[in-house]
Structure 1
Amino acid sequence: MVIPPPPSPLPEFVYKITPEAPPSPIPDSYPLSALDQKDGFVHLSTSWQIPTTASLFFTTTPSFYLLKLRLSNFDQAAVKWDEVEDTNGCPHLYGNFGAKDVVDVKEFVRGEGESWKDVFEKEEARAWLV
C-alpha cells in the first residue's frame, strides 16, 4: 500500500468528530472510540473534509461535537494521510491526543430538513473551521 504525501501546506488544525459531548474537562489521554481502537489509529478530518465525513458517517445523527486539534502538537511521523475517495487524504493519528492538544470544542446541530453540507456552509461554521 502506498501512503500518499501529506497536503501542502499542512493545515493548522485537524478535527475529531464525536457523537457525544466530550468529557469535561478534557483528559490528558482522550478515550478512544471503538472504531479508533479497532483500527489502531485516531480518525481525524481536515476542515474541508468535515462536510463529506459527516455526510458519509453521520447521516442519521442530528448533532455531533468537533474537537479542534492543533496539528503541530503531534510528531508528524505519527500522522499518516490515508487516501480515501473524495477526501483528499484523511489524517490518521497513530497515538492519542488529550487536553493539551484540544484548542476548542463545538457542537453542530442539523435543523429539520438540513444536510450536513448546509450546516457547514453557514458563516458561523465556516469561521470556526479554519
Structure 2
Amino acid sequence: MAPLPPPSPLPEYVYKITPSAPPTPIPEQYPLSDLDQQDGFVHLSASWQVPITASLFFKDTPSFHILKLRLARFDAAAVKWDEVDGTNGCPHLYGNFGADDVVSVREFRRGEGQTWQEVFEGEAERGWLE
C-alpha cells in the first residue's frame, strides 16, 4: 500500500463497517477486529467507498452495522489515505477510536437477491452517508 494525498476537500465523516452490532454502550477504546489487529490500523471507508467496501468484503453477509465517525476528531497524522488495489485512497486510522468519536450507528440489510450497491443507491440523498 502506498500513501496518497488526502482527498480535497476532506470528508466530514468516515465509516467503519462491522459484521455485528457494536457493544452497547460503545467503549472508550473500540475492540479491534482481527484484520485491524493484523494490519496495524483500523480499516475505514469514505462515504463513496462504503458500497464498494460492502460489495468486496461483505458480499455474502445479509446485514451489518456501520459506525459513522467524525474525521476531524483524529489527528491528521493518524489517518493515512492508502492506495488499495488501485483505488483512490482508503482511509486507515493508525490508532483506535471510541465512544467520543462515534456520531451514530446504523444497521443495513440486503433483501433476497439484492446487492449492496442497490442497498446504498440514493443513501447519500437521504443524508446519513455524507
Could you list the structure 1 runs, at least 4 aligned residues long, displaced by more than 3 angstroms after superposition: 122-126
Instruction: Name the TM-score, length of structure 2 as normaliser.
Output: 0.95
Instruction: Name the TM-score, length of structure 1 as normaliser.
Output: 0.95
Deviation larger for 34-43 or 120-129: 120-129
Deviation larger for 120-129 or 86-95: 120-129
Partner of 1:119: 119
1:1-130 matched pairs, under 5 angstroms: 2-85=2-85, 87-123=87-123, 126-130=126-130
The Cα of 1:25 is off from its aligned counterpart by: 0.5
Identity of aligned residues (%): 73
- Name stretches of at least 5 consecutive residues in structure 2 with no aligned partner: none
- Name stretches of at least 5 consecutive residues in structure 1 with no aligned partner: none
CA distance in 2, matches of 1:115, 1:108: 12
User: Aligned residues, how many?
Assistant: 130
8 Å Cα contact 2:65/2:108 also seen in 1: yes
CA distance in 2, matches of 1:4, 1:112: 38
How big is the alpha-carbon RMSD for the aligned residues of Structure 1 and Structure 2? 1.5
